[in-house]
Chain A
Amino acid sequence: MILVIAGATCREAVRSRAFLGLLVIFVCGILLARLVGAISATDGNIVTTDLVFSLQSLIGVLVAVATGTALVHTEVRQHTLYTVLSRPMARWRFVLGKYLGLAAALALGQIAMLATGLAWLWATGAELHGWLLIGGLLTIVEVLVMAAVSLCWTALSSPLLAAVLGLATWAAGHAVSSLPGLIHHLDGCKQQAAIVLASLVPDLGRFAYRNDAVHRTPIEAVDLALAFAYGSLWIALLVAITVAVYRRKQL
């Protein structure tokens, strides 16, 4: 039943004009990236590759926040969930199915962007290597975590506020990785508070391998596995919170 809901959600999402529109924006972006690479003072191919992967991440996160906040809220506002939840199904299955469907659609979009980006880089003479693929895959994990973050914020607040909080979480999540360097400057109580606050947001720096990938900096297999596990745990936690909130929500 969860997979049935996920399938319908995915189909509905990938057929939307917004989804196709973002892919078009991505294509325009990578064309411009080549232009920027061509006029840059340093290695043009490196600059182009860096921009293509940054664009994949940026569009992915924006789509994740936008669709994650709208996912269940739109169902509630338009009453589309009435005909679904009136069937013999627990609400947690519905929320989980919706998330999985969104995750599948986002992953498809990301894979399409990654494939298009790599094809464009190859066509323009940039050197391709396996680290780029790993960098792209970790970006997908980051996007899926951000979708779960947005879904959770929507359960706890309004969609607009959830979008703002989602983007704030994204910014904080990337700042968390620089915390160990800063924490020594704080005294006892503040240090503890900073550690607690940092543990409340996902450390998105764990997925930001794309810049290293462009420069062929290797990533250990263990670190890669840990990053996937870390992302999965955060997704599970955030979806669980969302389920708990929607379980008692008046629709």
Chain B
Amino acid sequence: MSADAVQFRDVSFTYRGDWLQRIRALERVDLRVPAGSAFGYLGANGAGKSTSIKLLVGLLQGHLGEIRLFGDAIGAPRLRARLGYLPEQPFFYENLGVGEYLRYLGKLSGLSGSALDQACDRVYGLLDLGDLRERRLGSFSKGMRQRFGLAQAILHSPDLLLLDEPFSGLDPLWRARFKDIMAGERRRGATLLFSTHILSDVEDLCDHFAVIDHGVVLEQGRLADLLGSAPLALTASGPRPENAVDLGDGSWRLVFPEHERERRLAESLAAGASIVRLERQRIALEDHFVAKVREFHAAGSRLGGSSAERPS
């Protein structure tokens, strides 16, 4: 089995609009989602997150490059048996009831008999849909549709959950509940890939992340590595180094990158400083994201590139 649940290699995709209109949505994307991970796919609206997910699901075709799911090239319908997909702003047939709709989708996923009954009961319990099973989906609010959307995505216990803006339209209680369910799915062994532009969701749930903008992946990797790369803050008293900030109570504070740790500590101690504490500053993912995207836009402006043709 491949160590990666999802692999994009040099993937580009262009939407064909009316007549000769062409919209480049992805530009030479390389992406790796390790199996078993929780992967946050970050980007602004229109950045290319949904396009990437739709390519994985097979709703879009005609990409350049290679896309692999659990080591196999996408295309074969049987691969999709391992996927659970929650589309962005999901809609469902209005005149079908919750119960019959779930059974319908369960059958399409290959479930039948008691396995289907058990799967339905499981998601009724997880998403409080049991009392609504006779109700038609046409009467559902946005948040309720989202709940049904997650229910159908996890119904068949997929190996890979693709969730496109899963928290959209949810109240705070259900946001927390969704996070619990997603964490539970991960404990079961599923890989999570979800797109969002809400960065706190990524911090809460993910161990891997990627940032995409204008169809270009700007950064990807382990969230722990990103957070671990935050600068260190040394608080001490005694002789104050040149760049340190005076805290007013006789102590001072000096911020420096990880690779200067040994040298700075040695210099401070040699100068006779008394160390109060050494701590890692917290990276605000939001600030990091905004900085990355701005940096990308600035590089694009300097080169005069258009949207997805900007360099990464």
Contact = CB atoms under 8 A, between A and B. Distances in A.
A4 B89 CA distance: 25
A4 B102 CA distance: 12
A89 B108 contact: yes
A11 interface: yes
Contacts of B108: 1, 4-5, 84, 87-89
A28 to B, nearest CB: 24
A251 B53 CA distance: 12
A87 B80 contact: yes
A71 to B, nearest CB: 12
A85 B91 contact: no
Given A11-B96, A12-B96, A250-B16, A86 B85 contact: yes
Contacts of B85: 82-83, 86
A158 to B, nearest CB: 10
B91 A79 contact: yes
A89 B100 contact: no
Contacts of A7: 104
B156 to A, nearest CB: 8
Interface in A30-78: 78
Contact of B87 (A11, A83, A248): A83
A83 B110 contact: no
Contacts of B284: none
Chain B interface main SS type? mixed
A83 B105 contact: yes
Interface in A194-224: none
B250 interface: no
Contact of A88 (B80, B95, B162): B80
A8 B94 CA distance: 11
A4 B104 contact: yes
B173 interface: no
Contacts of B153: 83
Nearest to B14: A250
A15 interface: yes
Given A5-B108, A80-B91, A88 B57 contact: no
A87 B59 contact: no
Nearest to B80: A88
Given A82-B59, A251-B59, 9 more contacts: A4-B107, A8-B100, A12-B94, A15-B96, A82-B87, A83-B92, A85-B57, A88-B110, A250-B59
Interface of A: 1, 4-5, 7-8, 11-12, 15-16, 78-80, 82-90, 248, 250-251
Q: Which 4 A-B pairs have the closest CB atoms?
A: A15-B95, A86-B85, A88-B81, A82-B87
